[in-house]
Amino acid sequence: MSRIVTNSSANLVYQYYLQNNQTLSSSIAKLSSGLEINSAEDDPAGLAISENERNEMSGTNAAVNVIANANNYINTTDGYLQTVNDMLGQMEQLAVSYNDSTYGSTELSDLNTEFNALVGEMNDISSQAEFNSVMLFSTNTSTLEFQVGAESNAFLSIAGAGTITSLIGAVAINNISQITAATSNVAQVRAQLGAAQVEMNYKSTANQEYSTDLSAVEGRIRDVDVAQESINYARQQMLVQSSTAMLAQANSTPQNVLSLVKG
């Protein structure tokens, strides 16, 4: 071809040069970031899938934190109920001692004073105990719901403990059976809270395993295979160098045509 205005060979080589250079730049970006997908054009379908997996993983991790807070709530409630159990044990001792016929009126009065003080402390716990501004022993917190998974319907309901007054009833120092019944009621609530905690801990473990699996799936889609990409990088680097050299050769072709017009 002996034309100098339009250099088709140079244009074709330049097109390949641009393609090779773009591919080389993409390879450099992947090796630099460690990611196979740095923009939507790298893998549109893979990007969409990995973003869904990433969102699911974020929601699952958040659910693990919710479960941890729920566990803290239960632990705090159970701690107070343990104190109530201890006080009921002391109250039962006082009730048994109250039936000691060798005690006089002064001793009996002292026993009754301590008994009433324990009842007063239970009432204080019932009205004051809270966790993160949530009253632990209130009729307003009869049921609490916790999101324990990333799905919209993944809820776990936990029955509240109710008020201390409702658990122990009207105990009196001269009625041991009332104290025994109150101890049984408190123990039953603690058992229910413990069962809910066991269930939540299993859900937490399942969520953590699920999050790990999601992370692996996302990694397989988004993380670059460094060994494979290094091969691609070396190949594209050679192609860019080759196309650069050929572009120089293509640009020199019209100069040979000019020799035809020299005298």
Indicate the pairing of strand 155-159 with strand 143-147. Answer: antiparallel
Q: Structure pTM?
A: 0.68
Class of domain 63-222: mainly alpha
Q: What is the pLDDT of residue 83?
A: 93
Integer Cα distance of 258 and 3 in angstroms: 9
Chunked in runs of 10, what are the mean pLDDT values of the chain (263 residues)? 54 68 68 66 70 79 87 90 93 90 88 92 87 79 77 79 82 90 91 89 86 75 69 73 69 57 53
- For the CA atoms of 194, 195, 199, 204, the dihedral, rounded to the nearest 10 degrees, stands at 0
Own/partner pairs for 189-195, CB < 8 Å, 24+ apart? 189/81, 189/161, 189/162, 190/78, 190/81, 190/82, 190/85, 192/159, 193/74, 193/77, 193/78, 193/81, 193/158, 193/161, 194/74, 194/78
Please return the burial class of 139, using the count of CB atoms within 10 Å of its CB with bins 0-12, 13-18 and 19+: exposed
Determine whether 179 is exposed, middle or buried from the number of CB atoms within 10 Å of its CB (0-12, 13-18, 19+).
Answer: buried
Q: So what's the pLDDT on residue 40?
A: 64
CA distances from 218 to 33, 35, 189, 215, 222 (A): 15, 11, 43, 5, 6
Copy the structure tokens of residue 231: 């091969």
For residues 31 and 224, the answer to whether their CB atoms sit within 8 Å is: yes
- Identify the pLDDT of residue 178: 92
Question: What local confidence, expressed as pLDDT, does residue 90 receive?
Answer: 94
d(CA 259, CA 263) in angstroms, rounded, equals 9
**φ, ψ dihedrals at 225, nearest 5°:** -85, 100
